[in-house]
Amino acid sequence: MRYGAKVLFDDVNVTFLPGRRYGLTGPNGAGKSTFMKILTGELDAQKGTVVRPKRVGVLSQDQFAFDAFRVVDTVIMGNRPLWQALEERDILYAKEDMTDEDGMRLGELEGVVAENDGYTAESDAAILLDGLDIPEDLHERKMSELQGGQKVGVLLAQALFGGPEALLLDEPTNHLDLESIHWLQDFLSRYQGTLIVISHDRHFLNSVCTHTADIDYETIITYTGGYDDMVLAKTQVRSRLESENAQREKKIAQLNEFIARFSAGTRSSQVTSRKKEVERLATSDLARSNIARPFLRFDMKRPSGRHALEIKGLTKSYDGEAPVISNFTASISRGEKIGIIGRNGVGKTTILRSIIAAAPGVSDEDFKIDSGTIEWGHEAQVGYFAQDHRATILPGLTVFEWLQQFDPQAGNEELRGLLGQMLFKSEEGLKPTAALSGGEAARLIFCRLMLQKPNILVMDEPTNHLDLESINAMNFALQKFQGTLFLVTHDHDLLEETATRIWRVSHAGIEDFKGAYEELQSVGA
């Protein structure tokens, strides 16, 4: 498969075996989603064939395609033969005068329904929906009435419904909270068919996958184990090839030196043999990997005071309804890293917007708390990564101009260096901000934070739209950050490896756990 001069896949031969769970990896732009669409049949390969099993469950990417249907029906549609049989059966039963042919057809349809466990379809669908945190009172509602994250949960249940022989899931953890992700991990780990999944969640891939299919060098190489196992194996193979190449080059240099010294002398036969040896050893250029690793480092211009933030009696509600946050009090010291977790819709973003509403260096004038006080410490400077970060980048500017406005004193070389660290090529500095993809917009926000050097970082789901390499780079940078961090994330590893304190948000309130996420789980979370 190629697009113009860009080759995604060239003569790829790969088999995905039953009982194995494959993580499909590769950086943004490597062709993961394109390959998945070729597997599902949505796209045709320009050359070659794909053989797929009869029943394939696919995670639909169109959240609005099923808006006219009930939630439970949308799930059952995951088994297309069953759904078609149920629809046709209902039409025949609705007839006032049924012919003999109708009766015979009904018998055939009842056979299809029975064969596909149609008589327990609604209860089977309900079990899947409950696991993905879609409450029972929504099961009879129309899809159009659900929020984005809930729709993703329903579409995931649709892909899982009816025990397909193969499951093809493109970013199934997007918009899911941690509890739903953990439920999905457990479910997929018990799945007996062939699973192929794209995810930017390292912990999810390591927990679920028995194998990793990595897209690189214009082909697909399969490794045994999860994501971390693949990275280790790939690095070792690459290092061995580079070492062998280096040894060959050294030997060639020695032979060429002999040839240069004695080519005009009496040792012509030895020179000839040395030339043949050089030809035999000639190094083939190592194929260039398309993995690009960004470099992130969050420095501070100066540290904040010892007390970074004091929250007293914080209460916030919307439109006079029951408060999302009620009388919350907390004291945060410099250097603490707070991970904020909870189910979707319980108020995690509301907490962040409440504490940054009047933060130094950030303005969110449209947001007001109901009551309570928020006092920032001495010299506090806040950098904010909003969940809807795309909306924080003004259109009408180039990437370079947008970044420059945050520090007009910064030299061109410094700005180009920051953009280069986040994988913007030199010509991409002239790209209009309105043309940025989600991943590019996220990387540009990181450039801004590195330029501003705040001592307090407030981040709301920063992993959205990032590939695994970028998430790993951010993880390391946040671990090394000397300042204070507030982080909302559904990424298990990022939470476990950075947070020193957890705020667990629920409709009952906010639990302030002074310890790491792993400790919270071990005490019965």
In this model, does residue 414 exceed pLDDT 90?
Answer: yes
Beta strand 325-333 pairing with 307-316: antiparallel
Higher pLDDT, 203 or 293: 203
86 vs 73: CA distance, rounded Å: 10
Predicted pLDDT of residue 287: 58
Tell me which CATH code domain 2-230 carries.
Answer: 3.40.50.300
pLDDT grade for 152, boundaries at 50, 70 and 90: confident
Predicted pLDDT of residue 285: 55
Predicted pLDDT of residue 64: 82
Higher pLDDT, 240 or 81: 81
The pair of three-digit structure tokens given for residue 168, joined into one six-digit string: 């093809």
> Which residue shows structure tokens 């046709």?
88
The pair of three-digit structure tokens given for residue 492, joined into one six-digit string: 């298990």
**Other C-beta atoms lying within 10 Å of the C-beta of residue 103:** 10
112 vs 86: CA distance, rounded Å: 9
pLDDT grade for 363, boundaries at 50, 70 and 90: low
In this model, does residue 357 exceed pLDDT 80?
Answer: yes
93 vs 451: CA distance, rounded Å: 68
pLDDT grade for 525, boundaries at 50, 70 and 90: very low
* DSSP 8-state assignment for residue 106: H
Predicted pLDDT of residue 322: 87
Task: Identify the three-state secondary structure at position 389.
Answer: helix
Cβ atoms 493, 179 nearer than 8 A? no
Predicted pLDDT of residue 278: 73
* Assigned fold of 307-522: Rossmann fold (3.40.50)
**Over the stretch 479-491, which tens digit does the pLDDT of each residue have?**
999 999 999 999 9
Higher pLDDT, 289 or 237: 237
pLDDT grade for 284, boundaries at 50, 70 and 90: low
CA pseudo-torsion sign 264, 268, 273, 276? positive
Are 2-230 and 307-522 in the same CATH fold?
A: yes
- Between 82-91, 294-303, 319-328, 516-525, the lowest mean confidence (pLDDT) is in 516-525
In this model, does residue 303 exceed pLDDT 60?
Answer: yes
- Between 195-199, 238-242, 439-443, the lowest mean confidence (pLDDT) is in 238-242
37 vs 43: CA distance, rounded Å: 5
* DSSP 8-state assignment for residue 99: -
**Over the stretch 364-401, which tens digit does the pLDDT of each residue have?**
667 889 999 999 999 999 999 998 877 889 899 999 99
In this model, does residue 450 exceed pLDDT 90?
Answer: yes
In the chain, domain spans: 2-230, 232-281, 307-522
pTM: 0.78
Mean pLDDT rounded to a whole number for the chain: 89
Q: What is the mean pLDDT of residues 5-20?
A: 90
CA pseudo-torsion sign 415, 419, 421, 422? positive
In this model, does residue 523 exceed pLDDT 80?
Answer: no
Predicted pLDDT of residue 301: 94
The beta strands (E) that lie in 17-156 are given as 21-25, 56-58
Length of the chain: 525
The pair of three-digit structure tokens given for residue 314, joined into one six-digit string: 């914080």
In this model, does residue 360 exceed pLDDT 80?
Answer: yes
Please, what is the Cα angle at 158 between 152 and 161, to 5 degrees? 140
In this model, does residue 340 exceed pLDDT 80?
Answer: yes
414 vs 419: CA distance, rounded Å: 9
- For 66, 410, 430, 447, the CA distances from 425, given in Å and listed in that order, are 40, 19, 10, 13
Task: Identify the three-state secondary structure at position 269.
Answer: helix
**Over the stretch 459-518, which tens digit does the pLDDT of each residue have?**
999 998 888 889 999 999 999 999 999 999 999 999 999 999 999 999 899 999 999 999
- Nearest CA to 448 out of 426, 433, 465, 437 is that of 433
